[in-house]
Amino acid sequence: MTASDVPNPVPAKDWSAFQFEIYLNGLAGTVPRLPTDLTRLEEIAERRLGPGPVGYVAGAAGDGKTVRANREALDRWRIVPRMLRDVRQRDLSVELFGTRVPAPVALAPVGVLSIMHPDAEPAAARAAAAQGLPFILSTASSTTLEQVAEAMDSVSAAAERWFQLYWPKDREVTVSLLTRAAKAGYRVLVVTLDTWLLAWRPRDLDQAYLPFLRGVGTANYFSDPAFQAGLAKPVHEDLNAAVLHFAQMFADPAKTWADLAFLREHWDGPIVLKGVLHPDDARRAADAGMDGLVVSNHGGRQVNGSIGAADALPGIARAVGDQITVLFDSGVRSGDDVFKALALGAQAVLLGRPYAYGLGLDGQAGVEHVLRCLLAEFDLTLALSGYTEPGQLTPDALVR
């Protein structure tokens, strides 16, 4: 048998088949263009991509304690495999906010992806759509939300897209962004709570590098009629004034729990709060009628010295796991990380930096490679540990 005898790459459902596909391609002399151990992507990106962009993606708050805490929190747990259970038929699909998706993974909102690759968010969104997985578009994207929606539709009309909101100070701009997102088919609103201010990020500071000040990562604002209404001159006539206006209204550190009612009023679909780390905040989210939350410390980019996200997960899952959907990110790099996060109470995980590196190194194909590696490894880990569905995972599958 040779690679050319094999039908097209196995789509969505049989995730582990990617492993066989890689070996078969090897018979035709082809090896993967990117590593299959996703922890190696960062080092390759550091070598091949520009220091500003890769510093922005890899960088963290302070000296990186929280990035390390995220890894330690996951690494503290060990999987305890179980034997002699029929694991031939597996189904990785999960239901998220009323829609079934083929695996418990979504692409995290990552802003300003054009610094990694000229095809930017549309390429990442097409990759997610091609694999049937939800794509969460950042407000701070380098491409408009309408362009990203179009890119996803070109692959699959069924592809799930969610919109992440950096909640602006300005009410009109907020309503305008929400209205545009709903019209463009974004179904779930993900509201980020941990970035009312930008943290102290030495890698960016040392290079004095912040893409937004160059007007990159501002497409959703600059294209917005309510935003434009606040400018004396059109964006293309006075970029500096537009950037300044953006910087002033980007976020509002005065927001409190009481303000969530405003979002409910202006968003009909599910609302998810991103950046929750304390069980009491999780309870408040549930009490406020939110549909879900993301246990996350923004990949260690905000509060240096904060709790590792996986250390926060079990307490939050115990507090609200039976009331609202609990998602997880910050530190997910492998299939066993996905396994652990689900066992600790998450219904799905968001993948961040690894897909940004995949994009930077190989565009849409790079993002698809990253997703397929992650899910093949998760599928195999699940099977080899004696499970066939994400819903079977509980803390009993792990030991500390």
Ligand X SMILES: Cc1cc2nc3c(=O)[nH]c(=O)nc-3n(C[C@H](O)[C@H](O)[C@H](O)COP(=O)(O)O)c2cc1C
**Of 113, 167, 100, residue with least CA distance to 141:** 113
Q: How many CA atoms lie within 13 A of 67 on its CB side?
A: 13
Q: Give the one residue of 117, 201, 245, 353 binding ligand X; rule: CB under 6 A.
A: 353
- Other CB atoms within a 10 A radius of the CB of residue 51 amount to 12
Dihedral through CA 373, CA 375, CA 376, CA 381, nearest 10? 120
Report, in Å, the least distance between residue 259 CB and ligand X: 17
**Of 182, 142, 136, residue with least CA distance to 163:** 136
Task: Tell me which amino acid residue 326 is.
Answer: V
Q: Give the one residue of 147, 164, 174, 218 binding ligand X; rule: CB under 6 A.
A: 164
**Of 102, 91, 186, residue with least CA distance to 146:** 186
Burial status of residue 190 (CB atoms within 10 A of its CB: 0-12, 13-18, 19 or more)? buried
Q: With binding defined as CB under 6 A, does residue 114 bind ligand X?
A: no
DSSP summary character for residue 254: T
Site string for ligand X, 285-314 (x = CB under 6 A): -----------x-xx-x-------------
Instruction: Select the span of 89-97, 180-188, 219-227, 324-332 touching ligand X (CB under 6 A).
Output: 324-332
Distance CA 21, CA 3 (A): 8
Measured from the CB atom, is 90 or 201 closer to ligand X? 201
Report, in Å, the least distance between residue 113 CB and ligand X: 8
Q: Give the one residue of 55, 132, 215, 352 binding ligand X; rule: CB under 6 A.
A: 352
Report, in Å, the least distance between residue 314 CB and ligand X: 18
Judged by CB under 6 A, how many residues of this single chain contact ligand X? 22
Q: Which of 117, 245, 298, 369 is catalytic?
A: 298
**Of 330, 340, 346, residue with least CA distance to 385:** 340
Report, in Å, the least distance between residue 111 CB and ligand X: 3
Measured from the CB atom, is 242 or 332 closer to ligand X? 332
Q: Give the one residue of 332, 343, 344, 382 binding ligand X; rule: CB under 6 A.
A: 332
Q: Give the one residue of 119, 121, 204, 329 binding ligand X; rule: CB under 6 A.
A: 329
Q: Which whole-number Å values give the CA distances from 266 to 112, 176, 192, in the listed order? A: 26, 10, 16
Locate 139 and state its tokens: 């407000």
Helix, strand, coil share (%) of the chain residues, nearest 5: 50, 10, 40
Dihedral through CA 374, CA 375, CA 377, CA 378, nearest 10? 110
Measured from the CB atom, is 215 or 352 closer to ligand X? 352
Q: With binding defined as CB under 6 A, does residue 55 bind ligand X?
A: no
278 as an active site residue: the answer is: no
Measured from the CB atom, is 90 or 217 closer to ligand X? 217
Site string for ligand X, 57-76 (x = CB under 6 A): x-------------------
Report, in Å, the least distance between residue 7 CB and ligand X: 33
Q: Are 308 and 70 spatial neighbours (Cβ–Cβ below 8 Å)?
A: yes
Q: Are 397 and 385 spatial neighbours (Cβ–Cβ below 8 Å)?
A: yes
| Contact footprint for ligand X (CB under 6 A) | 56-57, 108-111, 138, 140, 164, 192, 274, 296, 298-299, 301, 329-332, 352-353, 356
Would you name the residues annotated as active-site residues? 298
